[in-house]
Amino acid sequence: MNLLCPFWINKIPRLRTDSPSALSLADLLYCNVEDPNEVWTHVILGGYVIDVEWLFRVSGPLLMSKCTIVLISGEKGFLHKYRHLVLHDRFGRNRVKIVEPCLPIPFGVHHSKMMLCINNNGIRVAVLTANFIEDDWNYKTQGIYFQDFPRLKTQSENIVLNISSIEGKGMRFRNEIKRYLSCIGVASSMPKDGCIPLSLLDEFDFSGACVELIASVPGYHRCSDAQHYGLGKLKSILQSMQLPSSLDRNPPVLTWQFTSQGLLTANFLNSMKQIMSIDARNPTGEDKMDPVVRVVYPTETEVKNSLEGWRGGLSLPVTLRCCHSYINERLFRWGTVPQGSEVENERSKGLPHLKTYTRLTESEDGLSWFLLTSANLSRAAWGEWQHGGTQLLIRSYELGVLYDETSFLHVKEDGLFSVTPSRPVPIPSSADGDGLVRVTIKADTCKKDGGGAALFLPYNPLTLQPYVSTVQIQERRTNALAERSKSPLSTTDVPWVVDVPHHGEDRFGKEFHDVLSGDNPCKEYLHASHRLSRSNSQIRKKRMKYDN
């Protein structure tokens, strides 16, 4: 039986080979506006940066329907900017609501990417890694989780369905959505201007939810409250999974794939490693056996040769000051050549904007779990423990989903349920040449290859290609002679760092300084990234003290 996880990637128009697992934003926002049951009544879209004019240009149903639209933005002054658009006059005051979430802790941002679309058939829930801007959807590699959920049947129609919807993953999924929407000021249990009623979410049957939601919300989260967010939530989920322990007591193998990192500390890195190492034998993650960590991050050459050329590096805002030796010694390339092939994977030309964290099975032939999220490797995103681990400080809003071996779609004989039956979204799969790799999630280490729930990923966490310098560093650790020689590390693979000089022409014949000085289509994203960089600088200058 082919068990498939609800994971898709974005459709990149410039790639020669399309993938059945590739979706456009228009695919996700489509509805038949002539069908009263299918036309959207409410649409909630959240992102770090939103290009409103492009958003409505690619999604005709949003323009043609009369649905209430809520836009959640992390861009400061977004409401003021929107009011100066022609669309503001067209929609009037009540059609589109703008929400700029409260940021109670200095230097935090709203970084989540999500979508909720409601009609008379049910609700579509999507957790994304793409902002609502053209560059993110058409040129970069993104991850997409979404599921459609039907409306609850009345008690007289099916009492069993009502009971199942409030148990297990479905109940947790619904509660996490309600909690998160309340925190960002989009939903409320009391009548409130610009908010949808929380009770609206009780009208849907979430019993088919395949994943666990992991949100980060700014604040000082104490005691049991810390279990709801960031590192605390991840820890709680992994403890409840009771993953089988390594039979041979081998160290856990983790992959971290992100597009930016903050100022890292040893305590934060230890927290990440410990929590991601949790299994049945090591329920706290504090086992003295240090995990193997592999960091997937693009090289300077990969940026230069990408679909965007040098410009693509502007949305990989890692600065020299934020580089950390622990990460630098564990780097693996983003793009790899498929095994047995001499042809480069064209899909890897779309630079990553998705963020994924995984744990491999003991035999490294599959995944124990897989996490898709907006959260980069930073304390602001994941949080940092204070006061002996009783308080979790989080600065930013983030949203992600965790897949395990039970995270597969339940496809019935008449197909997968869709809230847009006139154009249902295709089930994930792969085609020759699309650059996707089939990887399975199987918590049971005794399962043979091929078992478990399948993901079609844009990179292969099982066969990563290390930087040449990573190989050299590993050899030094195991070879005393190599350690004594101290020969210079290879510069064949240089990790992309945005604020150092970059030389040579990209695939468009442009130098990096041309990109910085020219008219940049992703200028708003670049400005937002610079604000983050300045915030990090301010944190450093103020010498803010963190208790760990």
| Residue ranges at the known binding site | 113, 355
107 phi and psi angles, rounded to 5 deg: 70, 15
Closest CA to 110 of 394, 405, 340: 394
How far apart, in whole angstroms, are the C-alpha atoms of residue 290 and residue 272? 12
Q: In this structure, are residues 164 and 150 in contact, taking their beta carbons and an 8 Å threshold?
A: no
Annotated binding-site ranges for substrate? 113, 355
How far apart, in whole angstroms, are the C-alpha atoms of residue 399 and residue 381? 10
Q: What's the one-letter identity of residue 334?
A: W
How far apart, in whole angstroms, are the C-alpha atoms of residue 69 and residue 160? 34
Choose, from 110, 221, 228, 353, the residue flagged as catalytic.
Answer: 353
Q: Is 353 a catalytic residue?
A: yes
Q: Is 111 a catalytic residue?
A: yes
Q: What's the one-letter identity of residue 137?
A: W
Choose, from 110, 111, 221, 228, the residue flagged as catalytic.
Answer: 111
How far apart, in whole angstroms, are the C-alpha atoms of residue 427 and residue 415? 9
DSSP element (H, E) containing 535: helix 523-541
Residue 485 in tokens: 């020689």
How far apart, in whole angstroms, are the C-alpha atoms of residue 405 and residue 275? 19
Inter-CA distances, 158 with 153, 163, 366, 419, Å: 6, 9, 39, 20
Q: In this structure, are residues 225 and 330 in contact, taking their beta carbons and an 8 Å threshold?
A: no
Residue 256 in tokens: 């971290």
Closest CA to 533 of 221, 109, 118: 109
Inter-CA distances, 143 with 371, 401, 427, Å: 10, 11, 15
How far apart, in whole angstroms, are the C-alpha atoms of residue 490 and residue 469? 5
Instruction: Tell me which residues are annotated as active site.
Output: 111, 353
